[in-house]
Amino acid sequence: MQLGPYTLAAPVVLAPMAGVTDKPFRVLCKRMGAGLCVSEMTTSDPRFWSTSKSRHRMDHAGEPDPVSVQIAGTVPQVMADAARYNVDHGAQVIDINMGCPAKKVCNAWAGSALMRDEALVARIVEAVVRAVGVPVTLKIRTGWDAAHRNAPTIARIAQDAGIAALTVHGRTRDQQYGGVAEYDTIAAIKAELSIPVIANGDVDSPAKARAVLDATGCDAVMVGRAAQGRPWLLREIAHFLATGKSLPPPTLVEVRDILLAHLEHLHAFYGEQSGVRIARKHLGWYAKDRPENAAFRAVANRAETAAMQVALTRDYFDALVAGVPPGLRAAA
C-alpha cells in the first residue's frame, strides 16, 4: 500500500487506541511487522500541548518511519494548527479522528459525532490537508446509527478534499465495539474511491485478515484490540497475507523476552512510577489465558518498583517455560 511518499512494508496497520498505542507499543508493533502504527488520539486544543501527557504523545524520537499521529477536534482552523504543530514535532502522516465512539469525545461533537455534520467534515478535512505537506488520512465509522449510515457520502467528501487514505471501522457509533463488523459497507465504499481504503473491525487472526481483504477489496487491514498482549499477531498477519502460510506461534521464551523489553521501554519512557502503573494493563493482556494468570496479575499489580515488576514477570514466565506451576513471590 502506498501512502503519499511511503510504501508500507506490510498491509497491516495498528489502530489508534487511547492509552494503548503510545510510543513503546508502536515501536514494538512496528518491529513485530506492522506496516503503519497510528498514535493514540492527541488533542487539537493548544492549551493542553504542554502537559506531560501531550508531551509523551508527541514524542517520536527514534520511532521508525512513517510516523502517523491522530488528531481530534471540531474547529477547522484549530485542527489545521494542530496538524502543523505535530508535523513540526515529527509527524509524517496526520490522521483525523472521526471514528472514536467514546461519550466524552462525542459529547464534545468530536470523533464519530462529526459524521452528523457533513459540511463540517468537509471544512475540517480541507483545512488540515491545506495546512500540511504530509499525507492526511481519515478514520470513520459506517455512520452515527443504523438509520444514518452515511459513510459513503463522508468518504467521497474526504477524497474530494484530498485525503491520502481512508480507514473505515465497520460499525456505527451506537454499536461501540459490539455486533459484527459490516464488511459489505466497507466494500461499497472501496468500490467508489480511488484512494487506498483500510478495513477495520474484528480482524483478530491471519485468516480473518485474508477474508476481510477478499470481502472488501481493501488495500490493508487495521488491527486494534486483538493486538493487545499479542503484538506478534501483526507479523503473523503480514506473513500470511504475503505467503499464504501460517507462522508458528511464539515460544514462551520469546513471549517473555518481548514482554520484558516492553516493560523496560515503558519504565524508561514514562519514568518508574508512571511506567509501572501503565505497564499493569499490558501485563494482564500478555498473561490472559495463561496458567495462574489471575494470581500473577494480582501480585504484579501490587509491585510498586520497576525492578519488582520485571522480576515478577520474569519469574512467572520462567516457570511457564520450565513447565512448573508459577511460584509468585510476594510484592515488596
What are the residue numbers of the active site? 100
Measured distance CA(45)–CA(31) in Å, rounded: 32
Residue 23 contacts residue 42 (beta carbons within 8 Å): no
From residue 115, alpha-carbon distances to 92, 106, 172, 178, 184 in Å are 25, 10, 10, 19, 19
> What does the buried/exposed string (b/e) look like for 248-274 if buried means 16 or more CB atoms within 10 Å of the residue's CB?
eebebeebbebbeebbbbbbebbeeee
Which of 109, 114, 106 lies closest to 139 in space, CA to CA?
114
Residue 71: its H or E element: strand 68-72
Among all chains, which residue has been given the C-alpha cell 501531550?
54
Measured distance CA(307)–CA(76) in Å, rounded: 46
From residue 81, alpha-carbon distances to 122, 168, 202, 257, 278 in Å are 16, 25, 34, 41, 30
From residue 293, alpha-carbon distances to 162, 256, 258, 284 in Å are 48, 14, 17, 8
Which of 260, 268, 271, 265 lies closest to 300 in space, CA to CA?
260
Question: Coil, strand, or helix at residue 44?
Answer: coil
